A and B are shown apart, each in its own frame.
Chain A
Amino acid sequence: MTSNKSMTAATIRQWSRRLFLTAAGGIAIATAVWQPVQAQDAEWEKVVEAGKKEGTLVLYTALVGQPSTKKIAKAFTEEYGISVEVLEARASEIRERVRVEQAAGRFAADVMFTSEGQTRLYDAEDKSIDPLPVTPNSQKIKPQFKLQVPMASVMTIPYGIMINTGLVKPADEPKSWKDLADPKWQGKILADDPRAIGAGYLWFFSTHDRIGEDYLRKVAGQKLVFTRDQRESQRRTARGEYSIYMPVILTDMSDLKGLPVKFIVPEEGVGYVLYGNVLLKKAPHPNAAKLYLDFLQGPTAQKIYASLGYGPVIDGVTEGLPADIKAISEAKLYGTSDSRRQNEMLGKAKEIFK
């Protein structure tokens, strides 16, 4: 009994010591972690204050005409009191503007909203962007969107298939990218031109890598009709010129409600373009720029994008969305293009789709 008691007391002492050591160690670790966090918070607070003092942010965007840009700019201004001046132009135009401005010593813009592929070119060839700052929200994005190139990922634009419901019976609807090679669609597909950078090329690139060249050669035998105007092509298909248009920007679905069309998320998943923000060299408002980068990876901006059908880069922002929007926003990402192989793949596309 005594020995039992002494054993118990020894055990308790032993545990107490362990508990003490554990607790002490825990406190030490927590203190060690907390101090830098506290320091980081303080550092970020300084960025916030400095950004507010700067008062303005100049944003260049290659995504022309998107209402989301204004919505997010407004939300950002409400959050920080910083006004956002937006200049929109197409990707090649905005890239040349930035390059020439910087070459001439005119550093007019702070942030540019562009694609991952363009960012690689900005970084490697033009040397016009700065490394990304670490911001509170940049730690919270999904791992697949943490990139090697200095772009703060914001959202994905999903591409799928559109059909005219008056011309395609429900039983015949294509369900996957592979279905487009079915001979019954010969002469009935309007396609974005895969021989030039754009949505068609994105489809070509992703299916080439995932399904294979044979598939593309089969589709080439379908006598596709090519176009380079995405929105007008959607209308042409809706009016009955063609049964299928592909690849379609799935987020356009809500703009075409009321027309005899259906947007299909292919079984394999959607082709996508990843968009994000880059910090331009010698930005005149560097702190406001950091705040903007952070804001677009935070829940407010992410919810705005998800509500429009774009794929968010953080979890937990698609709850409560209408089912059709949610399906697009959460669609499995199938493939994208890689600007490092652009010339090779464009050459291949020109060879297959003569």
Chain B
Amino acid sequence: MTLIHNRSLDDVAETAPTLGGNAVTRAFSGGSIGRLIGMLALIAILGFLTIYPLAMLLYGSLHSTPPGLAGEFNLNGYRAIMTTQNFLVLVNTVGISLAKTVPSLTIAVFLAWIIARTDTPFRGTLEVLITLPFFIPPILTAMAWGMLGNPQVGVINLVWRSISGSQDPLVNVYSYGGVVWHMCQYSIPFLFLFTVDAFRAMDPSLEESSRMCGASRWTTFRKITLLMMLPVLTSSFMLSFIRGIESFESPLFFGLPAGIKVITTDIYEAINHRATPDYQYATALSFAIMGLMFLLVIWQWALLRGKSFQTVTGKGFRPNVMELGPWRWVTFGFCVLFFVITVVLPVGQLLLGSFFRFFGFYTYEMLTLEHYRAVFSNSEFWRALRNTMMLGLLGATATMALGAVVAYVSVRTRWRGRSLIDGMAWLPWMMPGMVLGVGFLWAFAMLPGPIPIYGTVWALLLAYLALGTPVAVRVMTGAYHQLSYDLEECSRVHGANWFQTMWRIMVALAWPAFAVGWVLTFFGIMRELSASILLYSVGSETLAVVLLKLWANGNAEQVSVIGLMMMLLVILFRWVQLRFIKARISKL
């Protein structure tokens, strides 16, 4: 293990300057009562957002009937999940998740390194383009890959057969490989977004020192670059691995025809495909998985405890851009290949199909703009778009603000209870979305009557806040781990109050992570269905609900039109983020 000899947090606590100012300032800057109030406020907020719905689900797992129905407390749900069949399904699920997380992380780190640390041509444009698949509803890319890679008439196989003369298909997406591939389509851009800014925040002097001491480029990359990114890498690995365990669309779409079962399909069946929804079984199974996942979090805490990963110090630096010479065209080629396979092929299908009456039937007489007209003249779509944009803007901003505060307290203070809030912020990520949605429904509906949350837009907003917090906290934790404590101290010693320090140091230096987290959260809200469908009320439909209605009615082409519009929005957001905000905030 290579450690960087910046000052550790233990030293900082002893020397942190005591500041005056108002109560709020004091709450965050060190006064013991203020600190207590601040911490209690955070615990209360996170408790309401995460513990309360989970407590309702825990009740569901321990009670023979869901909340509101007469029944008795028992452990039948937990007994029912203890079967050999479930164990095999769990092993299968973990295997699939590992099979997608490890290559995804490897490719994502490589792509992030290419974009952030090399002189690969057009890397600014590539940075936006290679993340696009993440923002398309999974059902659309599943449909596109079904058209491309089905063994009978998939485009890839038709081309393969005509070139090779073979009768056997080259690929079959309805297989383990297909499930893993479709999941990778989402996890690679997600992990890339998570890691790329950590590469940018790397002080090249550390790597230069290593090289000066005789280490090879590869050893330096392994022992310095990657190790310094350990908080980001472990966080993103865990987020991706846990999400893989909870993944539902890919196994259902590509796994079911091949007889592949995962935990989430079992949970889905328990809720949707039994005479009476078996919430006790579904919640018990979810809690068992959650328990296993929490072991991972503990592993991460143990791994990072006592080590410092600061790369952004008071000393000025520019991230070193490696000159690759002719090899830059190889890295460029890799990015382009990745872009073509993961973006052009599926998105091309969606774009092409949106101009024809039916996907896959590309004849002149089928050409039409009918789907665009139908979407643009659909008043429900516009209403849902307005609602979703409002919820997205508010929700993403609030989530990132909360995530930033939680991450700050958990990483950069020694407040008692900081591990508690860090753990609480993880919880929503560990519960499958379809179960957590039910938890929100139970929690908000069962609130006392005078608390006007259920049936209002606030229920959606609070659910999104809870759902987005784990990503927000992880993104900001990774960024804060890299900032040296000297910077904060320096600011405060020079007379800046806590808020000025936060704004000038913690926000200005961590803004790229904040912006990436904001985009991830915003589009997470745009796509969220499990909680939305249970919490929306008449007039507060969200885009995901409208997409479900269109999909359920067989309007896949209209869903594609909306998916493409969402993608354009991503390009716009990322462009604004990378060009405009960067320039402004860098001046702070």
Please report the C-alpha to C-alpha distance between residue A219 and residue B400 in the assembled complex, in whole angstroms: 54
B533 A100 Cβ-Cβ under 8 A = no
B163 proximal to A (CB < 8 A): no
State the Cβ distance, B356 to closest chain A Cβ, in Å.
11
Collect the chain B residues with CB atoms within 8 Å of residue A93's CB.
533-534
A89 B153 Cβ-Cβ under 8 A = no
B18 proximal to A (CB < 8 A): no
State the Cβ distance, A233 to closest chain B Cβ, in Å.
10
B272 A92 Cβ-Cβ under 8 A = yes
- B interface SS class: loop
B302 proximal to A (CB < 8 A): no
A241 B150 Cβ-Cβ under 8 A = yes
Collect the chain B residues with CB atoms within 8 Å of residue A239's CB.
147, 153, 360-361
A220 proximal to B (CB < 8 A): no
A193 proximal to B (CB < 8 A): yes
B548 proximal to A (CB < 8 A): yes
How many CB-defined contacts (below 8 Å) exist between A and B? 136
Query: Which residues of chain A from 200 to 228 have any CB-CB distance to chain B below 8 Å in the complex?
Result: 225-228
B358 proximal to A (CB < 8 A): yes
With A228-B252, A231-B551 given, is the CB distance from A85 to B274 under 8 Å?
no
A65 B552 Cβ-Cβ under 8 A = yes
Query: Which residues of chain A from 101 to 118 have any CB-CB distance to chain B below 8 Å in the complex?
Result: 101-106, 108
Please report the C-alpha to C-alpha distance between residue A235 and residue B174 in the assembled complex, in whole angstroms: 16
A29 proximal to B (CB < 8 A): no
A99 B68 Cβ-Cβ under 8 A = yes
B272 A229 Cβ-Cβ under 8 A = no
Collect the chain B residues with CB atoms within 8 Å of residue A79's CB.
none
B583 proximal to A (CB < 8 A): no
> A30-38, A252-260, A288-296: which one contacts chain B?
A252-260
Collect the chain A residues with CB atoms within 8 Å of residue B361's CB.
238-239, 258-259
State the Cβ distance, B305 to closest chain A Cβ, in Å.
42
Q: Choose among A66, A103, A125 the residue with the greatest number of B CB atoms under 10 Å from its CB.
A: A103
B273 proximal to A (CB < 8 A): yes
Collect the chain A residues with CB atoms within 8 Å of residue B545's CB.
88
Query: Which residues of chain B from 500 to 527 have any CB-CB distance to chain A below 8 Å in the complex?
Result: none
Query: Which residues of chain A from 85 to 101 have any CB-CB distance to chain B below 8 Å in the complex?
Result: 85-93, 95-97, 99-101
A234 proximal to B (CB < 8 A): yes
State the Cβ distance, B373 to closest chain A Cβ, in Å.
16
Query: Which residues of chain B from 245 to 295 have any CB-CB distance to chain A below 8 Å in the complex?
Result: 252-253, 256-257, 269, 271-277
B69 proximal to A (CB < 8 A): yes
Collect the chain B residues with CB atoms within 8 Å of residue A259's CB.
358, 361
State the Cβ distance, A140 to closest chain B Cβ, in Å.
30
B257 A64 Cβ-Cβ under 8 A = no
B275 A343 Cβ-Cβ under 8 A = yes
Task: Give the number of chain B interface residues (Cβ < 8 Å).
Answer: 54
Collect the chain A residues with CB atoms within 8 Å of residue B219's CB.
none
B538 proximal to A (CB < 8 A): yes
State the Cβ distance, B233 to closest chain A Cβ, in Å.
36
Collect the chain A residues with CB atoms within 8 Å of residue B252's CB.
228
With A95-B277, A100-B446, A232-B143 given, is the CB distance from A108 to B455 under 8 Å?
yes
Collect the chain A residues with CB atoms within 8 Å of residue B442's CB.
100
Collect the chain B residues with CB atoms within 8 Å of residue A283's CB.
none
Collect the chain B residues with CB atoms within 8 Å of residue A238's CB.
358, 360-361
Please report the C-alpha to C-alpha distance between residue A83 and residue B383 in the assembled complex, in whole angstroms: 18
A197 B153 Cβ-Cβ under 8 A = no
Collect the chain A residues with CB atoms within 8 Å of residue B441's CB.
96-97, 100
B165 proximal to A (CB < 8 A): no
Residue from A229, A234, A241, A346 within 8 A of B274 (CB atoms): A346
Collect the chain B residues with CB atoms within 8 Å of residue A121's CB.
275-276
Please report the C-alpha to C-alpha distance between residue A141 and residue B34 in the assembled complex, in whole angstroms: 71
Collect the chain A residues with CB atoms within 8 Å of residue B533's CB.
89-90, 93
Please report the C-alpha to C-alpha distance between residue A91 and residue B556 in the assembled complex, in whole angstroms: 21
Collect the chain B residues with CB atoms within 8 Å of residue A89's CB.
533-534
Collect the chain B residues with CB atoms within 8 Å of residue A101's CB.
445, 454
Please report the C-alpha to C-alpha distance between residue A229 and residue B272 in the assembled complex, in whole angstroms: 14
Please report the C-alpha to C-alpha distance between residue A236 and residue B145 in the assembled complex, in whole angstroms: 12
Q: Choose among A101, A104, A106, A240 the residue with the greatest number of B CB atoms under 10 Å from its CB.
A: A104
A232 B146 Cβ-Cβ under 8 A = yes
Q: Choose among B143, B359, B441, B445 the residue with the greatest number of A CB atoms under 10 Å from its CB.
A: B445
Q: A112-145 CB contact bits vs B (8 Å, 1 = yes)?
A: 0000000001000110000000000000000000
Q: Choose among B67, B252, B272, B537 the residue with the greatest number of A CB atoms under 10 Å from its CB.
A: B272
A77 proximal to B (CB < 8 A): no
Residue from A90, A103, A193, A256 within 8 A of B69 (CB atoms): A103
Residue from A104, A125, A227 within 8 A of B445 (CB atoms): A104
Please report the C-alpha to C-alpha distance between residue A58 and residue B150 in the assembled complex, in whole angstroms: 43
Collect the chain B residues with CB atoms within 8 Å of residue A91's CB.
272
A165 proximal to B (CB < 8 A): no
A176 proximal to B (CB < 8 A): no
Query: Which residues of chain B from 54 to 106 have any CB-CB distance to chain A below 8 Å in the complex?
Result: 66-69
Please report the C-alpha to C-alpha distance between residue A66 and residue B548 in the assembled complex, in whole angstroms: 11
Please report the C-alpha to C-alpha distance between residue A229 and residue B256 in the assembled complex, in whole angstroms: 11
Collect the chain A residues with CB atoms within 8 Å of residue B455's CB.
106, 108
Collect the chain A residues with CB atoms within 8 Å of residue B143's CB.
232
B271 A234 Cβ-Cβ under 8 A = no
Please report the C-alpha to C-alpha distance between residue A107 and residue B131 in the assembled complex, in whole angstroms: 44
Please report the C-alpha to C-alpha distance between residue A196 and residue B253 in the assembled complex, in whole angstroms: 15
Residue from B274, B360, B366 within 8 A of A258 (CB atoms): B366
A96 B534 Cβ-Cβ under 8 A = yes
Q: A185-206 CB contact bits vs B (8 Å, 1 = yes)?
A: 0000000010011100000000
- Residues of chain B at the chain A interface (Cβ within 8 Å): 66-69, 143, 146-147, 150, 152-153, 174, 252-253, 256-257, 269, 271-277, 357-361, 366, 438, 441-442, 445-447, 449, 454-455, 533-534, 536-539, 545, 548-556
6 pairs, A vs B, C-beta closer than 8 Å: A65-B553, A87-B537, A88-B549, A225-B257, A235-B358, A258-B366
